[in-house]
Amino acid sequence: MSFNPKVVRLAGANEAAQPCPVGVCDGSGWILGPENVARPCECRERRMAKRRARGVASTIPAKYRGVSLERPPISDMARDRGRAPVYTAIKEFAEGIDERLNAGEGLWLMGDVGTGKTTLAMLVSKAAVEAERTVAIYSLPRLLARIRRTYDAETGEQSYLEFFERLTSVDLLHIDDLGAEKRSDWVLEQLYAIVNERYESERSMVVTTNLDQAALEEQIGPRTVSRLVEICGDPLPLFGDDLRYRVA
């Protein structure tokens, strides 16, 4: 027997509902099924996830808000034989962002300074934001500084456990410049805890680093890198000229 669900609005008459991001309900977050039994729409969980994610850096930096597959410098990569395979991988990931995040898949961009790693990673994060998914975006030094601040949190401020839970529960965690922080037992502990939690809960990550896999293992530990490989697959290599020094 076919079932065509009817939508139901449970919000107040004067409450303006936002459009359903998955195009199923009328924006109320509920669907009326057989025998007038209401069930939650998929968008309800997404909206609840957004509330849980409050307190993490989720805004695309101003410099990268205009990134696009059709605009330089990313569009130039499609015509660069050395960067074209990475461009294709990023394009496929961004265009299938919902499926990739649902599967807990990630990306690892590795290569020289100025080769476009951060720009490509921001394109993926932007696609996730536009798909109404929860995202946390940090450079590694900024992330570690944010964690340190939680140790001095006063009453009413976000504690370490609260921040850790929000950081590890977002749909996509974007860490830029992995391996940029001076190695210490504390840094190794923090990174392992974050990556391992996301690995066990099958949540996506996108990371960039200037270090190759062997150097990254030396910097942040083989256990953490092993889990990154499980989440992100093999690193996508970007080498060549520094794009920042190219004359337009």
* Residues 211, 245: Cα–Cα separation, whole Å: 21
Residue 28 has a pLDDT of 73
Tell me if the bond preceding 73 is cis, omega within 30° of 0.
Answer: yes
Residue 52 has a pLDDT of 54
148-161, pLDDT tens digit by residue? Answer: 999 886 755 778 99
Close Cβ partners of 55 (under 8 Å, ≥ 6 residues apart):
158, 162, 163, 166
Residue 55 has a pLDDT of 53
Residue 27: strand, helix, or coil: coil
Rounded to 10 degrees, what is the CA torsion of 181, 195, 170, 160? -70
Band of pLDDT at residue 81, cut at 50, 70 and 90: confident
161-203, pLDDT tens digit by residue? Answer: 999 999 999 999 999 999 999 999 999 999 999 999 999 999 9
Q: Give the residue carrying structure tokens 């998914």.
A: 133
For residue 38, pLDDT beyond 90: no
Q: Which of 209, 215, 214, 218 is nearest to 238 (CA)?
A: 209
For the chain, state the CA radius of gyration: 20
For residue 95, pLDDT beyond 90: yes
Burial level of 38, CB count in 10 A (0-12/13-18/19+)? middle
Do residues 237 and 86 lie in contact, with contact meaning Cβ atoms separated by under 8 Å? yes
Residue 166: strand, helix, or coil: helix
Band of pLDDT at residue 242, cut at 50, 70 and 90: low
Higher-pLDDT residue of 132, 228: 228
Q: Is the pTM of this model over 0.85?
A: no
- What single-letter DSSP state applies at residue 80? -
3 sits in which H/E element: none
Close Cβ partners of 19 (under 8 Å, ≥ 6 residues apart):
27
Burial level of 210, CB count in 10 A (0-12/13-18/19+)? middle
Distance of CA 102 to the CA centre of its chain: 12
- What single-letter DSSP state applies at residue 54? T
Question: Which domains does the chain show, CATH number per domain?
Answer: 6-48 (no CATH), 53-245 (3.40.50.300)
- What single-letter DSSP state applies at residue 176? E
Residue 208 has a pLDDT of 97
How big is the CA angle at 84 (ends 78 and 88), to the nearest 5 degrees? 85
Query: Encoding tokens for residue 43?
Result: 């968008």
Q: Which of 118, 142, 133, 111 is nearest to 206 (CA)?
A: 118
Residues listed for the chain: 248
110-148, pLDDT tens digit by residue? Answer: 998 888 999 999 999 999 999 989 999 999 999 999 999
Residue 49 has a pLDDT of 58
Q: What is the mean pLDDT of the chain?
A: 84
